[in-house]
Amino acid sequence: MSGHSKWANIKHKKAAKDAKKGKIFTRIAKEITIAAREGGGDPEMNPRLRLAVQNAKSVNMPSDNIKRAIQKGTGEIEGATYEEIVYEGYAPLGVAVIVETVTDNRNRTFSELRAQFGKLGGNLGEPGSVAWNFDRKGVISIKTDGKTEDELLEHVLEAGAEDLEYDEETSRIICSFEDLVKCNKYFEDKKFIVEESKFEYIPKTNINITEINDARRVVKFIDAIEDLDDVQNVYGNYEFSDEIAAQLEKE
């Protein structure tokens, strides 16, 4: 298990705890609205919507919120017109980052991102400047539930997934972009608790960060970008040792 995987799990757990603060509800509601707009309001007929609704339920998002987000997407009730925009750039220490946004005002989003990047020692790049170093993959976060790494690997192979990032509490299953819905259904059918299922940008090569102060700079940057209202997800090619990840978790 890589240090980056451990930190990804820590971040995932923190996000779940922070759900009551509203940011994660807003992010999921936007994803539901866009999924419903593009593929219709029936989760059974719309795989992207089905995954978004599943993610909403996993963080106890109220049913009324889910329903309203779907209705905004289908046009049954009035709502903002969102568009998805992906930005690329660099965090401190030359860490490559990809930022997924959903916005109703692209000029506002760009201005806020550019200001935050500059303030925290990063640089926004041109489209394609860092995307070459990432693969678009499906990622399923499941409760490990006492399973060993070897036991989970057997399920990964049977599901047709590609890789496992094992953790004693929450493990991450990596699969191809095309196989996310199929692999998600496999783990649901096997009665695993699926905490989240989504597409991520997985780095091909990582920058190994070995000093705690450097790690803090990167985490501060990522957290600040994630806190912007229009930002859905931030991905970077950084890697921490287990020791540094554990220290950051305590902070």
pLDDT tens figures, 30-71? 999 999 999 999 999 999 999 999 999 988 899 999 999 999
pLDDT computed for residue 16 by the predictor:
52
Nearest to 228 by CA among 70, 143, 103, 125: 103
| Token pair of 173 as six digits | 């299953």
Give domain 83-127+206-245's CATH superfamily.
YebC, transcriptional regulation domain (3.30.70.980)
pTM, to two decimals: 0.88
d(CA 84, CA 233): 11
d(CA 29, CA 56): 8
CATH number of the 3-74 domain: 1.10.10.200
pLDDT (mean) for 209-219: 93
pLDDT tens figures, 14-39? 555 555 557 889 999 999 999 999 99
pLDDT tens figures, 88-126? 999 999 999 999 999 999 999 999 999 999 999 999 999
Given a cut of 70, is residue 155 above it in pLDDT?
yes
pLDDT computed for residue 23 by the predictor:
81
pLDDT (mean) for 231-250: 88
Give domain 133-203's CATH superfamily.
YebC, transcriptional regulation domain (3.30.70.980)
Asked if domains 83-127+206-245 and 133-203 share a fold, the reply is: yes
Contacts (Cβ under 8 Å, ≥6 apart) of 162: 137, 156, 174, 175, 176
Domain borders along the chain are: 3-74, 83-127+206-245, 133-203
